[in-house]
DNA sequence: GAAAAATCGGACATCGGTGTCCGGTTGCTA
DNA sequence: TAGCAACCGGACACCGATGTCCGATTTTTC
């Protein structure tokens, strides 16, 4: 009955394999953090290591593809005139609870220009709304964008240090603590 | 001319080698963090790997020996009746700036009973002074010991993520932020 | 001063991860 | 339907770290 037996070989499979790799990497990074072995990603995608490295020559290119959606989502939210700094931070913390990998990549020291570019995109996203929030007196007047990035980095670090079951509680307390430190 | 050519062989060298290993580990952990390769410690101590593993069968035993002094110092300070929570936190942050390794070990998830024991010692140290500080209204009434450990963990994480030159600045801002979140 | 006991050091077996290489498969084109 | 270009997969070479093993070295003891 001519079942379209899916194969992942041949030229026409390239796009599908690429997508499968990104999806698998998203899950693996979420489960095991940014440093997860890439061989696990290839296995989860049902694809050989060769294909992984052909599509994404290094960890960074794969990660950038995985996180592009999240960054775009942030930028879209920031573009909304009625969105506040609070909304942005809420979205970031939600993304971070889902997977700390993005913040791990962005906030660790790295001289890779592609990573720096992403960090700059995030900083830019926060910048405008932060100025607004300061004017409105919602946050301390001396709060800087760097402070926000620092806070998000600390938040992500707490999550990576705890085992999964204890995360939600620790996340709530940690973010409350950080929030009180930022509020006016 | 019978120069007392120092050797690190033979029975009488054991104690000296042990001390050299602890000193070397202290420096290596400070420079490269808690996950630093033990082979680097042996090299820095001028001692073979065999001796390292003979004296300290695993990373934890070596680390415990290295950090014992710091914990004892904390306990001594806590025993002083006039010492405040603030004094304790200052000492901890100073120790952390010198080397994040101790906090990395203590605040990461670990089921090793020896590590749990050290964490408990630190928690106990903080506990008494925290109650005092709460009564005196120096910190928020709902601040818990876990919050303090969380805060110190976040602080250490910031330091490990930054390259050495940027540390002091980031440390100051991060700690100020955390402190504001704790103060009444 | 010679043998026994205690200790050392580094070579090495092992392991897990990275990134490469090439024989084999697929689909496009003529 | 034959040939070719694109692509796949997994074996494998490499690397750095861990932990072990044993011949070599030093001290102690008699």
Tally of CB atoms within 10 A around A109: 11
Q: Which residue of chain B has the CA closest to A177?
A: B181
- With 0-12 / 13-18 / 19 or more C-beta atoms within 10 angstroms meaning exposed / middle / buried, residue B83 is middle
Instruction: Indicate the SS3 state at residue B140.
Output: coil
Query: pLDDT means per 10 residues in chain A (184 residues)?
Result: 49 82 97 97 95 96 98 98 97 97 95 96 97 96 96 97 91 97 93
Contact present, A147 and B177 (Cβ < 8 Å)? yes
pLDDT digits (tens, 9 = 90+) for B17-58: 999 999 999 999 999 999 999 999 999 999 999 999 999 999
The CA–C1' separation of B15 and D26, in angstroms, is 14
pLDDT on residue A1: 34
Q: Which residue of chain B has the CA closest to A162?
A: B109
Instruction: Indicate the SS3 state at residue B139.
Output: strand
Return the percentage of chain B with pLDDT > 90, whole number.
87
Q: Positive or negative CA dihedral for A91, B177, A168, A21? A: positive
- Which residue among B157, B162, B178 sits closest to A109, beta carbon to beta carbon? B162
pLDDT on residue B7: 67
pLDDT digits (tens, 9 = 90+) for B75-130: 999 999 999 999 999 999 999 999 999 999 999 989 999 999 999 999 999 999 99
Q: Is the pLDDT of residue B2 over 70?
A: no
Distance CA B113, CA B102 (A): 16
Distance CA B55, CA B23 (A): 13
pLDDT on residue A12: 67
Full 3-state SS string of B60-96: HHHHHHHHHHHHHHHHHHHHCCCCCHHHHHHHHHHHH
Distance CA B60, CA B122 (A): 17
- Helix extents (H) in chain B: 14-32, 38-45, 49-55, 59-79, 85-98, 101-107, 113-135, 145-161, 164-182
Distance from CA of B175 to the nearest CA of A (A): 10
- Which residue among B150, B166, B170 sits closest to A174, beta carbon to beta carbon? B150
Q: Is the pLDDT of residue B3 over 60?
A: no
Q: Average pLDDT of B143-164?
A: 95
Q: Which residue is nearest to nucleotide D20 (CA to C1')?
A: B50
The per-residue pLDDT of chain B, averaged, comes to: 93
pLDDT on residue A7: 67
Instruction: Indicate the SS3 state at residue B25.
Output: helix
Q: Which residue is nearest to nucleotide C24 (CA to C1')?
A: A9
């Amino acid at each position: 009955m001519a079942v379209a037996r899916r194969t992942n070989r041949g030229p026409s499979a390239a796009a599908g394999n690429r997508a499968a790799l990104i999806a698998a990497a998203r899950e693996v990074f979420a489960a095991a953090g940014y440093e997860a072995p890439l061989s696990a990603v290839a296995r989860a995608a049902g694809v050989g290591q060769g294909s992984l490295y052909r599509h994404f020559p290094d960890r960074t290119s794969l990660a950038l593809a995985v996180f592009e959606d999240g960054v775009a989502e942030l930028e879209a939210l920031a573009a909304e005139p009625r969105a506040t700094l609070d909304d942005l931070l809420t979205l970031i913390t939600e993304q971070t609870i889902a997977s700390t990998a993005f913040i791990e990549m962005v906030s660790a020291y790295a001289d890779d220009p592609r990573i720096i570019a992403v960090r700059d995109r995030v900083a830019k996203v926060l910048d405008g709304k932060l100025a607004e929030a300061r004017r409105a007196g919602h946050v301390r007047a001396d709060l800087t964008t760097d402070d926000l990035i620092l806070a998000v980095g600390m938040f992500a670090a707490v999550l990576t240090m705890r085992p999964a079951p204890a995360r939600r509680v620790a996340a709530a307390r940690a973010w409350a603590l950080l929030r009180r430190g930022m509020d006016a």
